[in-house]
Amino acid sequence: MIGVRLRTLGVMAAMVVFLAGCAETQFLIHTAKRVAQDDDTQAGSGYYKVGNPYQIDNIWYYPAEDYEYDETGIASWYGAAFHGRKTANGEDYDMNSLTAAHRTLPMPSFVRVTNLENGRSLVLKVNDRGPFAKGRIIDISKRGAQLLGFQNQGTSRVRVQILADQSRAVAARMQNRETLAQVGSPITVDKLPKASVSAETLPAPVGAELSPNVSNIPPAQTGTISNATLQPETATLITSLDAAVEQGPVSPTSIFVQAGAFGLFDNANQVRASLSPLGPVFLDQVLVNGRDLYRVRVGPLVDVDQADMILNQVIGTGYPDARIIVD
């Protein structure tokens, strides 16, 4: 009888421990989910997005993962009117952060923007769509415009270059995180636990013979990976964007309005003739991917205001893909 009671008490104790363990596991899972949600909230709850083609003011835009993007043109900036609103990829727009809006690049991606008028350059995160004013290629946060030195004038001649390695890396990380989120995992890629590995040299068993090929192998070394061993794109991901402005040389530039690039000289020459009443128009022959193209350009123009006026006239003449170019 006593033995039966002891066995019964043992079973009950085991059930209590088991249930307590289950409760603790559920508690840890819910806690991990809550922490992950809090981290996402602080990060603006953004997600990776390329998006479908879209139309604004009768102009079509085609978002794509273009890791060779390199373009010159006119930049503008946006600030208080949009501060706190959601960006196109779900982040909270902060005019004091180093971000930018672009019509077609992935969100987020990283670009280096160089102010061609003063030589300053800065790395910005693309997390929004725009600008949709004709003649602008990028819309920069207020803080970015301040650091690049064109907040007061409102616009500037710039070069925009995508940082391919960093942009690919952040795309892979965020897409993996979203895949885990879809299956309900509370763990994100950048929060995965790191295994701790140690090594210990053990004596050989009694009577065992050591192989001459392995007797001199040193024990495994333990330690941590230094930041110097990280790839550049990884280092960029684990540190926040800083406000480091690089200063480069300043070269003279000119502004043009390009009506289009044509594969046949006769077609380009006809366009040149139709635009000649607007001002000086010329053909510029270039080789692109092994193919001759003839670019039709109006200019050089005095400033951005004149370029905006000529751009509207060229578009009104029947060339909706016309754009402002800085060379």
Helix (H, G, I), strand (E, B) or coil at 82: helix
* Half-sphere CA count of 45, side-chain side, radius 13 A: 8
Q: What is the pLDDT of residues 119-165, one digit of tens each?
A: 999 999 999 999 998 899 999 999 999 999 999 999 999 999 999 99
Give the contacts of 288 (CB within 8 A, at least 6 positions apart).
261
Cα separation of 32 and 104, whole Å?
Answer: 35
Averaged pLDDT score across all residues of the chain: 79
pLDDT category at 197 given cuts 50, 70, 90 is very low
pLDDT tens column, 260-318: 999 999 999 999 999 999 999 999 999 988 899 999 999 999 999 999 999 999 999 99
Rounded to an integer, what distance in angstroms lies between the CA atom of residue 4 and that of residue 2?
5
Question: What is the per-residue pLDDT for 289?
Answer: 86
Query: Taking the chain, what is the end-to-end CA distance rounded to the nearest angstrom?
Result: 98
Residues 6+ apart with CB under 8 A from 70: 159, 160, 161, 162
- Of the two residues 200 and 317, the one the predictor is more confident about is 317
In degrees and rounded to multiples of 5, residue 118 shows phi and psi of: -130, -5
Residue 192's pLDDT is what?
46
Q: Note the pLDDT of residue 136.
A: 97
Ordered domains of the chain (ranges, CATH): 37-189+236-249 (2.40.40.10), 255-326 (3.30.70.1070)
Mean pLDDT of 34-46: 44
Ranges assigned E (strand) in the chain: 54-56, 59-61, 70-78, 99-101, 109-115, 120-128, 138-141, 155-162, 246-247, 255-262, 281-288, 291-301, 323-326
The count of residues in the chain is 327
Question: 3-state DSSP call for residue 167?
Answer: helix
Q: Which residues pair with 78 in a beta bridge?
A: 141
- Short-list 152, 68, 69, 79, CA closest to 103: 69
Percent of the chain with pLDDT over 90: 61
- Say if CB 134 and CB 312 are below 8 A apart: yes
**DSSP string spanning 83-146?**
TTSB-TTSPBP-TTSSEEE-SSS-BSEEEEEEETTT-EEEEEEEEE----STT-SEEEEHHHHH
Q: Measured on CA atoms in the order 213, 219, 224, 229, is the torsion positive or negative?
A: negative
